Amino acid sequence: MSADTTTAESRPLFTGLPSGIAPYVALVGALASTYVHLSMAPMLLQFDQTQAVLFVLAGVGFLAGTAVYLSKFWRREFYLVAIAFALAQIVAWVAMSGRVSDMAILSKGGETVFAVAAAYLYLNDPSDTDAAA
C-alpha cells in the first residue's frame, strides 16, 4: 500500500469547503445550470419525454460532479471532464436550435462561467503533486 493510498483512505469523505474565489464561482455556475435543468424538466415532460430525461440527467450530472468535487475522490483530471460536460450542454443547446429565453441565458451563462472557472482551477490546482512523486 503506497503512502498516497493510505492518505486518501484516512481522509474523511467530505473534505470541507474549498478555499479561494474560483471554486465558488464554478459552483455557482454549476448550480445555476442545475436549477434550470431540474426546474424545467417537469414542464418538458408534457411535450417531449426524451428531452425531459436529458434535462434531468444534465442537472443530476452537475450535482454529482459537485458532490465528487467536495469529496476525497476528486482528482485534478476531473476538471477536464467537468469542462467537457459543461461545453457539451452548450453545444447540445445550439445543435437543437435552443430558444433564447431567461432560463436559457441563466443555464448557458452558468455553464460558460463554470467551464472557465474549471479551466482556471485545472491550470492552477495546488494539489497536483504528480510531478513531485
Give me the DSSP letters along 17-31: ---SSHHHHHHHHHH
Mean pLDDT of the chain: 87
Residue 17: predicted pLDDT: 73
| Residue 124: exposure state from Cβ atoms within 10 A (0-12, 13-18, ≥19) | exposed
**Percent of the chain scoring above 70 in pLDDT:** 86
pLDDT value for 7? 56
pLDDT in tens, 47-98: 889 999 999 999 999 999 999 999 999 999 999 999 999 999 999 999 988 8
Q: Which of 12, 9, 21 is nearest to 121 (CA)?
A: 21
pLDDT at 26: 95
**Confidence class of residue 131 from pLDDT cuts 50, 70 and 90?**
very low
* Residue 132 in this model has a pLDDT that exceeds 50: no
- The H or E element spanning position 96 is none
Choose between 11 and 20: higher pLDDT. Answer: 20
Query: Dihedral of CA 88/117/74/126: which sign?
Result: positive
Q: pTM of the entire structure?
A: 0.81
